[in-house]
Amino acid sequence: MTNQTAESDVRSNPLYSKVVSQINEEKLTKDLTTYQLNRIKQMEELADEVKSSSDAQIDGLLRENLQENGRSVLSRLILGLNGLSKNDTEADELIVDLMKDFQKTARWPIVESIAERILKEREDHRGALHAMIEAVERLRGKKEIRPYLERLATLDESNSDPEIARRFGMLILEDDPDRAGQYLKQAAENYTRLRDYTKLEEIWTTLVDRFSDDIPFFEKIERILASYREKTRIAAYFASLVEVYRQLEDWDTVILLLKKILTHEPSSNKARSDLVRAYKQKYSNHSLLNEFLRISELTNNKKLVNTCIASFERNIVFDTGNFVYHRTRGVGKIVSIDPSEIVVDFKGNEGQKMTLEMAISSLQPMEPSHIWVQFFNNPDEVKQLFETDIPGFFKLLLESYNHRIILSEIKTEVIDRLGLVSAKSWSSWWNKTRTALKKEPLFGFNPQKRDELILHKQEISFNDALDDRFHKTKDWNKKLDIALEALRDTETANAATSCAQFFYEEERKTRDPAAWFQCYFYLTKYRSRYSDSRLQSMRSESDLMEILKVSDAIAIQHISEAIEFLEFKERLVSLIIKARPDYADVLKQLLFETPIKAHRFIINELNNKGETETLKSFVQTAFRRYQEYPEVFLWVARSILGGSWDFEWQEVSPQETMLQMFRLLKPLGRIEDKGNKLKNQLLREIFGTTTIVAEDLTDSPIHDIVKIADLTSIRRFSVLFRDVPYVPDAHKDNFNEFLSSVRSDFQSATDDYEEDIDEQKQDLLPSADTILVSSEGLEKTKSYYNHLVNVELRENADDIGIAQAKGDLRENAEYKAALERQSSLQAEITRMAADLKKAQVIDPSSVRTDIVTIGSRISVTDSKGAKLAYTILGPWDADTEKGIISYVSPLGKSLIGKSVGDTATLEGGQSYHIEQIEKAI
């Protein structure tokens, strides 16, 4: 804007003049500490006038001023306030940034004023609520912050900031203890997940004093701590809870808590002594208490505490009126007991006497609630429960089996022991019952042991179940799968936070670039769902692009292969396009990755960017190397035949595609030597079925192609299909019958009709998943691989550590160089590890002298008359100076299968006449 135009606007527009005046005045202001509240109020009034005017020139003036002075209070305030009602992200950032500046300078009246204005526009604005809480507390004290704190705590209820939940909970503790408890427990849970134990300990005493009756809550904290292996911390926290119940003389709960402590810290002599005292209180009227304590050796600190507890609790139930089980006599009731003798009444065998020692060794104590005791006392009642309340029956059954039971045990109980189901009706009954139990929140099937039914001690929420599964799972991709599931529903917000915490920490520990990308993708997805500034990736998008820039194509392929999830693969592809000028070549390599996942996305991206030559090259390569990449070729073929590729650059005809699919049939038997997945897939792509009957092929993919194909192609279809070893002869005859019915000019190919020589040659070459090598070449390759892993990779890790210690990774040339070297090393190690798995030593007995095979030494005369000798071995053996060539080289491929007297010709015109063939190994 020229000075002349500005002067004209000032004369004609008083509001414009007022804004210009404020801008000029602002230029004279030294810093934020000189601003007074009344001046900010004037600016707010000016913002209202600007908003009402909708004057684009004033808006432009303010933006121009902001460009010149990025910290302008006036521009940030007016543009920020006026953009809030439009949900303008840039405006939001401006006003929040301004508030933070005034917070830093402790201008609390101004902070309060700006926050109040924001909240008038958007009452749920978290940034404004946070600022208002701090400002009001500084100005008028804690009591005045309640409405703002409550609003923020309510907003964040599903995934609360633990600090807000804690502050609000403590603020309302006396007025509304129940509600306060909800917030304090939520804060404690999140502090635990975040491993912020200092904050957790600040409210732990309050939780123990006020909410000790909520044992399930404390057990949840125990589970989270246990997943982080914080055993000592569990013992310390639960010790204070024990004291509360000791004062209440609730010995059952005291014993429960002490046993938990000893589970995590079995060497605690104090907890052990406290447990003995608790047992003495609970069983003070038991006649044999001291005897059973002596037998259990619980007071001997040198003995394993859990074994002693099990012994004591097993024996202490031996008391008058209690029940026992004998393996041949069944359930019985103790009628008397003393240190020397026990008397038991079994059904039909009353008054059985035995010594205490014999009873302990031969009888199994039974709780009165055990299903066998219930059946002993009242069988009709158990039968009625079974018939009218299956969940209730299984609750009784599982409580008798320590909360978990396997399928064979269920079958034994309901058929043999209780006689509730007949063997004949077992299967139908169990299928119906299993379906019903799956819907019950108290029951669950063990994911690691499918035939095991579990009774939860309390109803397990989906959130807790996900969280538990996440921490028990060791596999990285399974963890990520659970973490993504946790993000789909607000009810699983806490589990999502727990997962995010894991990836937040993992990102800082790992040196695997693939893990960096996945942690970044998950954490940014998490933060897009929950505004949680605590769990932010340590890397930015530009950092990841830098990694992609310095990595070679193989390293990028390694990163892509490690990422299983489609959404993350697509995000990686988008970053590659942004970061790499040669993105088309890199993405072409990723198109040969299996399994097929982001391939359609890559094809569409390359097509949209006009990379037609790359796409043509990919299709040509997929067709040419169809045996090496059968799964990729099948996907391309399906896309062509199915019509989903309606692209101008797509030049391969359906007939050519079908012929190449037939060519794959025979070698696929060798390529896929285990299983039939690809073989069946290929048959279905061609015939629409794996069971080939002539009449059924009229609606198959092959039908329309046969109708229009030339006769030579049809004969090739027939010959190629005839040679497939895994297809029954009857199916081959049915196919020929089909060909004859569609094309009257077709006659079944004679036995001496041969397909291209290139097809025959494939039988002499290894499959794509095999690398042939001499024994010497294999040892040499293994030695080099070990050197990379044990020497070079370790040295590189040290280099990265040294470079990281120097700070600012973006400007650190040493770090970038070390990182680039790491990517290269990891890619080479990954490739070599995969290749070593494919390695197979050449079998000397397979080397022939009638034709050229791998392991042959050949004497030839070239087109210039020179006499030469070549040995054909594997790619790891190749040494041109010694005349050793690889079977994958152009010359090696051209010689394979030839006999003495034949001539091998290369594409450049060079020819080699074979004079002699002999064994080289």
Q: Are strands 452-455 and 404-406 parallel, antiparallel or unpaired?
A: antiparallel
The Cα–Cα gap between 256 and 246 comes to: 12
The two tokens of residue 536 are 């932010």
Confidence band (pLDDT; 50, 70, 90) for 586? very high
Chain segment 145-203, per-residue pLDDT in tens:
888 888 888 776 555 678 888 988 998 999 899 999 989 998 999 899 888 999 999 99
Q: Which CATH number fits domain 771-841: 3.30.420.40, 3.40.50.970, 1.10.150.120, 1.10.287.180?
A: 1.10.287.180
Q: What's domain 844-919's architecture?
A: Roll (3.10)
* pLDDT > 50? residue 754: no
* pLDDT > 80? residue 462: no
Higher-confidence position of 113 and 808: 113
DSSP code per residue over 247-315: HHT-HHHHHHHHHHHHHH-TT-HHHHHHHHHHHHHHTTT-TTHHHHHHHHTTT-TTS-HHHHHHHHHHH
Q: What is the pLDDT of residue 364?
A: 85
The Cα–Cα gap between 894 and 910 comes to: 11
DSSP code per residue over 859-904: EEEETT--EEEEEEE-TTT-BGGGTEEETTSHHHHHHTT--TT-EE
CA nearest to 631, candidates 596, 667, 675: 596
CB 94 within 8 A of CB 78: no
Chain segment 828-886, per-residue pLDDT in tens:
888 888 889 888 898 887 788 888 999 999 999 998 889 999 999 999 999 988 999 99
Cis ω for the linkage preceding 595 (within 30 of 0): yes
Bridge partners of 311? none
The two tokens of residue 760 are 């025959």
The rounded percent of the chain whose pLDDT value lies above 70 is 94
CA nearest to 410, candidates 389, 428, 426, 388: 426
CA nearest to 526, candidates 548, 534, 573: 534
- Domain residue limits, the chain: 3-155, 378-455, 771-841, 844-919
Higher-confidence position of 123 and 682: 682
The two tokens of residue 201 are 């300990």
Question: What are phi and psi for residue 872, nearest 5 degrees?
Answer: -100, 115
Strands (DSSP E) contained in 356-481 are: 364-366, 404-406, 443-445, 452-455
Average pLDDT over residues 595-599: 94
Q: What is the pLDDT of residue 772?
A: 92
Higher-confidence position of 86 and 182: 182
Distances (CA, A) of 835 to 144, 157, 463, 631, 673: 69, 53, 43, 19, 18
Bridge partners of 912? 862, 904
The Cα–Cα gap between 648 and 650 comes to: 5
Q: What's domain 3-155's architecture?
A: Alpha Horseshoe (1.25)
Higher-confidence position of 533 and 907: 907
* pLDDT > 60? residue 6: no
Bridge partners of 491? none
3-state SS, residue 653: coil
Average pLDDT over residues 778-795: 90
Look up the pTM and report it.
0.54
Distances (CA, A) of 490 to 125, 159, 463: 19, 8, 9
Distances (CA, A) of 753 to 107, 727, 740: 94, 20, 18
* pLDDT > 70? residue 460: no
Cβ neighbour number for residue 899 with a 10 Å cutoff: 12
Chain segment 220-255, per-residue pLDDT in tens:
899 889 988 899 999 999 999 999 999 999 999 999
Cβ neighbour number for residue 190 with a 10 Å cutoff: 27
Average pLDDT over residues 539-559: 91
**Mean per-residue pLDDT over the chain, rounded:** 87
CB 191 within 8 A of CB 233: no
Q: What is the pLDDT of residue 642?
A: 86
Q: What is the pLDDT of residue 85?
A: 75
Average pLDDT over residues 891-918: 87
Question: What are phi and psi for residue 565, nearest 5 degrees?
Answer: -90, 130
DSSP code per residue over 506-555: HHHH---HHHHHHHHHHHHHHHHHS--TTS--SS-HHHHHHHHHHS-HHH
Which are the contacts of 866, defined by CB distance < 8 A and separation ≥ 6?
Answer: none
Chain segment 692-715, per-residue pLDDT in tens:
887 778 778 888 899 888 888 888
Mean pLDDT lowest for which of 137-146, 278-287, 803-812?
803-812
CA nearest to 555, candidates 303, 750, 822: 822
Which are the contacts of 4, defined by CB distance < 8 A and separation ≥ 6?
Answer: none
